[in-house]
Amino acid sequence: MSVNGILYTKAMAKKILVIEDDKDIRDTIVYVLEEEGYEVVSSEDSKILKSLDHIAPHMILLDNWLTEWKSDANGEQISRELKSNPATSHIPVIIVSAVSNIKEIAASGLADGYLRKPFNLAELIAIVKKHLK
């Protein structure tokens, strides 16, 4: 959009990286967050983290059990690596999982928060807004 010769783009929107292997859940999260005005980049696996510098997200929503990792790493370990790295420690990480001990997993992974599956859409929006001020 252009007003008085000034070009306004969607660049003002906060960018959220969603890593979730369940397509239905991933698509729902992407849809809801885009409707809220966020720019969303999504992936079914954590390989996208290799492009983190290029993506430059303001937040990461991270599924705790990614099928492609098998026993190599989980959301807790990925979160701990991100939060322990000075280059990425400033990015809020929210672990998403259905496990009963999600609070402990998030704390152990140094995550900024957690979202328990199944979640309602108001909970999703609330946690994103809380960590993206």
Whether 46 has a pLDDT exceeding 70, the answer reads yes
Model pLDDT for residues 78-95, shown as the tens digit of each residue = 999 999 999 999 999 999
Residues 10, 19: Cα–Cα separation, whole Å: 22
pLDDT of residue 72: 60
Residues near 4 by Cβ (< 8 Å), separated by ≥ 6?
A: none
- Over residues 18-24, the mean pLDDT reads 94
Contact in structure between 59 and 132 (CB atoms under 8 Å): yes
Share of the chain above pLDDT 70, in %: 86
Residues 74, 45: Cα–Cα separation, whole Å: 11
